[in-house]
Amino acid sequence: MHKIALLLLSFVLLESSAQVNVNDSIQIRKIYSEALSNSPSYTQLRYLCKKIGNRLSGSPQAAKAVAWGEIEMKKIADKVLMQEVMVPHWVRGPKEKATLIVDGKVNKALYVLALGGSVATPKAGITAEILAVDSLSHLKKLGEKVKGKIVFFRRPMDATLINTFDAYGDAGDQRRQGPSEAAKYGAVAVIVRSLGLAADNYPHTGMLSYLPDVPKIPAAAISTNTANDLDKLIAQGKKLALEISISSQMLPDEKSYNVVGEIKGSQYPEEIIVVGGHLDSWDVGEGAHDDGTGCVQSMEVLRIFKALGIKPKRTIRAVLFMNEENGVKGGEKYAELAKLNNEKNIAAIESDAGGHTPRGFDFSDSPENFKKWMPYFAPYDIKHFEKGYPGTDIHPLEPSGTVLIGFLPDSQRYFDYHHTDNDVFENVNKRELEMGSATIASLVYLLSEYGVK
């Protein structure tokens, strides 16, 4: 009884000092308590990772994940929608092979991982000299010297940037555009230093973007440790070559689905609040942080509302998007259907930054409109309400005027796992995952009560 009295007193003081509603503060406290006491999300994530595994679009595992998502949504939603979408189907094929040659002598085998969408090498593989490049502008300066070489993009992520997503964005041009830019000058293949800050042996895959009027050349990632080793050999004046073999291919598109669960609003049902993550993952690891955590957190929002008997004023949709990693077809399909059906999606929250400790939210525009709610989150150490990039799957909703919001967990460890064999269930912390669910659900609650104005 004493604890309850103190809790109520703290809410009264909060209300008087920050002009917040004590009833909303109490409801948010209940949301956190429910998420931290009764959540099935960690168990759901274990099943998704261990029983289904990685889930690249078009794969049998992706189809199993869709079926699983539909079953889970039916437990918590008033209505479940299956949005059909055609998705690309790229397959890696047999394990890639690479052998380093130093001063004309075979040195050692390297672990490489083809970038998503990469074409295959000839069956006999490719053997060529390695040419180290620091940036796309450096590549351009080298010009004809690139011809016949395997270009090694060696620029690391900037470790001095506190937000690791900023570092990822800055260094990512060499992965996304590097293969086509190198092909312009006659390169025969590309290897890229993985986009991660840890010194380890895990190559990071990820999507590349081929230009339509440039030859497509094979491209693979190497681990940060391997990249550091190559840098040392280059500094010693060694002549490096690589023999590499990749067997990937693009197959015809496959039919898949977005899984959508809905709780209808009690007062403004035509106003929709979306919360989502992407069900697909890359074909390595288990897709735990990217983005199994976002999927179970999105479903948890609906479950919490049901468990606490909260009747949202506005309609809430949890969306498990398909094909974020290599096409964004699910996000585009959701926006297309929303426009076709004249839906009013007033806000969309994306959870696709991992399941670590919650820090706050990024807003596509005008975060000041929502900073009035920051006092509600202060007891939970949620302090970040700033302008930033909200997410890939909800981005297609931007032209319709939807307020886009990205859930932001702590970013320091995310790129230790991102797009690697190391993105497994064991690297997700149960309490951090549940704290994130509660944080998202609390913002959804406020949006449901008061809208976006």
Residues forming the active site: 324
User: What does residue 273 show for φ and ψ, rounded to 5 degrees?
Assistant: -110, 120
Give the C-alpha separation, 335 to 250, whole Å: 26
Residue type, 425: F
Residue 129 has a CB neighbour count (10 Å cut-off) of 13
Give the C-alpha separation, 396 to 414, whole Å: 25
Looking at 182-248, which runs of residues are DSSP E strands? 189-193, 219-222, 240-245
Give the C-alpha separation, 184 to 143, whole Å: 9
Residue type, 72: E
Place of tokens 């920051």: 374
Nearest to 25 by CA among 13, 37, 35: 13
Give the C-alpha separation, 32 to 318, whole Å: 18
Residue type, 419: H
Element at 294 (helix H, strand E) = helix 293-308
Element at 306 (helix H, strand E) = helix 293-308
Q: Going by C-beta distance under 8 Å and a sequence separation of 6 or more, which residues neighbour residue 287?
A: 48, 49, 53, 54, 55, 280, 281, 423
Task: Count Cβ neighbours within 10 Å for each residue of 420-430 and write b for 16 or more, e otherwise.
Answer: bbbbbbebbee
DSSP symbol at 1: -
Question: Does residue 69 contact residue 295 with C-beta atoms inside 8 Å?
Answer: yes
Place of tokens 């040659």: 101
Give the C-alpha separation, 44 to 441, whole Å: 17
Nearest to 41 by CA among 433, 435, 442, 427: 433
Burial of 374 (0-12, 13-18, 19+ CB in 10 A): middle
Nearest to 44 by CA among 276, 294, 281: 294
78 preceded by cis ω (within 30°)? no
Give the C-alpha separation, 366 to 247, whole Å: 47
